[in-house]
Amino acid sequence: MSQPINPLRKYIREGKLPHFFCPGCGCGQILNAFLQACDELSVDPSRMVIIGGVGCTARIPVYLKGDVLHGVHGRTLAWATGIKLHKPQTKVVIFAGDGDVASIGGNHLIHAARRNLDVLVVVANNFNYAMTGGQVAPMTPSQVRTMTTPFGNPEPSFDICELVVTAGATYVAREATGRPVQLERTLKKALTHEGFALVEVLSQCPTNYGRYALRSGDPAVTLKWIMDRCITKAQADKLSKEEKAGKFVLGEFVDFKRPIFCGSSVYDLESCECCE
């Protein structure tokens, strides 16, 4: 009996398969949720510009048809800014790892949010620098063991959602690969948002995070570790700061409108032919 063809396959650059992700990596689930969201909205991802920096997550765009950029670690938002200034009508989506966008790319992130650049940033937070072997990263929880912190991470971790809300982002949400329905719903909202949208997706990296932090390469172990720490925003609202420590709050943090930063708001593009 022939296998049913996945309807989302039409968006995939088949010549690039087999993909590079490890078995059980969350990147495939994120890509699936994104394509499902696009399909349900009837927006063709090959009409967008999709950008990845460097890292495992940054490979996601490579498997998509259309205009994709895969290049420099931490510089996705600089590229996105250039594209939006030149072609404001182009939908731009970024897939970035937590290291890519919160560490080396942190300054670009703050200022893109402050300007309300009209892009969607999907951050796969796998709590480590996965591609380079599992080093500690800005979003590695405190006390957790990684390849470079064998006695536990001595630093506090970083809340990227709080950061971009404070910087001025107009749509910010956190979801997890373990909640595929909610993830897809969130990405659908984020895709239709005008202005700076960031969706943090808690994602399992069994190969490096699981192996060092949890002493297991089993994807289910890392997924369970994440999901056991997740609470909804409604649950979090009833807890004290101490009770919320070590938990990941899922849900929407902001959703509002304000003037966006793109070509037409910066330059007079009335007579620019390429922006028609």
* Interface residue list for ligand TPP (CB under 6 A): 54-57, 73, 97-100, 104, 124, 126, 128-132, 137
| In the complex, least distance from residue 2 CB atom to ligand TPP, rounded to whole angstroms | 34
| In the complex, least distance from residue 226 CB atom to ligand TPP, rounded to whole angstroms | 14
Beta strand 248-255 with 171-176 is antiparallel
CA-wise closest residue to 55 among 14, 117, 98, 87 = 98
| In the complex, least distance from residue 189 CB atom to ligand TPP, rounded to whole angstroms | 24
* CA angle, 38 then 41 then 45, to 5°: 30
| In the complex, least distance from residue 232 CB atom to ligand TPP, rounded to whole angstroms | 25
| In the complex, least distance from residue 31 CB atom to ligand TPP, rounded to whole angstroms | 13
Three-state DSSP at 122 gives: strand
Q: Which amino acid is at 78?
A: A
Q: Considering beta carbons, is residue 100 or 118 the nearer one to ligand TPP?
A: 100
Q: Considering beta carbons, is residue 98 or 184 the nearer one to ligand TPP?
A: 98
Phi-psi label, residue 246: left if phi above 0, alpha if psi -120 to 50, beta otherwise: left
Q: Considering beta carbons, is residue 28 or 168 the nearer one to ligand TPP?
A: 28
Element (H, E) at 197: strand 197-202
Query: Which DSSP symbol is given to 100?
Result: I
Query: What's the CA gap between 35 and 23, in Å, rounded?
Result: 20
Tokens standing for residue 56: 């495992």
Three-state DSSP at 275 gives: helix
Q: Which amino acid is at 107?
A: N
> How does 26-58 read in b/e, with b if 16+ C-beta sit within 10 Å?
bbbbbbbbbbbbbbeeeeebeebbbbbbbbbbb
Peptide bond into 18 cis (omega under 30): yes
Q: Considering beta carbons, is residue 99 or 106 the nearer one to ligand TPP?
A: 99
| In the complex, least distance from residue 111 CB atom to ligand TPP, rounded to whole angstroms | 18
Q: Considering beta carbons, is residue 60 or 260 the nearer one to ligand TPP?
A: 60
Q: Considering beta carbons, is residue 132 or 235 the nearer one to ligand TPP?
A: 132
Q: Considering beta carbons, is residue 98 or 118 the nearer one to ligand TPP?
A: 98
Query: What's the CA gap between 209 and 199, in Å, rounded?
Result: 21
| In the complex, least distance from residue 209 CB atom to ligand TPP, rounded to whole angstroms | 9
Nearest residue to the partner ligand TPP, using Cβ: 97
